């Protein structure tokens, strides 16, 4: 069962501002979340929102999983020192 992946406006904007090489790497990682939203290396972040993060080089993808509707919502994308 494949999940649908959606990006919030802020995440899409942040992705567009990155260099093309990073866009491809992060895009591939986001696409992989559709097949497996909890891949090896994904960590659940502390807090009431139940956010997860995965690494893509020096960048982090922060996302939320909604199992009831099979949706992965990408909340933020940013450099590791700025995203948290």
Reading the block at residue 13, the tokens are 């904007």
Domain spans of the chain, in order of start: 4-79
Reading the block at residue 83, the tokens are 């995203």
Q: Is 60 helix (H, G, I), strand (E, B) or coil?
A: strand
pLDDT (mean) for 5-32: 97
73 beta partners: 6, 64
Reading the block at residue 17, the tokens are 């501002």
| Whether the predicted pLDDT of 83 surpasses 90 | no
Over pLDDT 70: what percentage of the chain? 100
Q: What is the pLDDT of residue 56?
A: 95
Q: pTM score, two decimals?
A: 0.93
Q: What is the pLDDT of residue 24?
A: 97
- Do residues 10 and 78 touch, judged by C-beta distance below 8 A? no
State the burial class of residue 14 (Cβ atoms within 10 Å of its Cβ: 0-12, 13-18, 19+): buried
Query: Which CATH architecture is the domain 4-79 placed in?
Result: 2-Layer Sandwich (3.30)
Mean pLDDT score of the chain, rounded to an integer? 95
């Amino acid at each position: 069962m494949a999940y649908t992946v959606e990006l919030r406006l802020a995440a899409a904007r942040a992705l567009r501002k990155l260099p093309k090489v990073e866009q491809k790497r992060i895009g591939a990682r986001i696409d992989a979340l559709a097949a497996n939203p909890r891949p090896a290396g994904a960590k659940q972040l502390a807090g009431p929102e139940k956010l997860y993060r995965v690494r893509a080089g020096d960048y982090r993808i922060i996302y939320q999983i909604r199992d009831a509707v099979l949706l992965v919502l990408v909340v933020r994308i940013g450099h590791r020192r700025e995203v948290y």
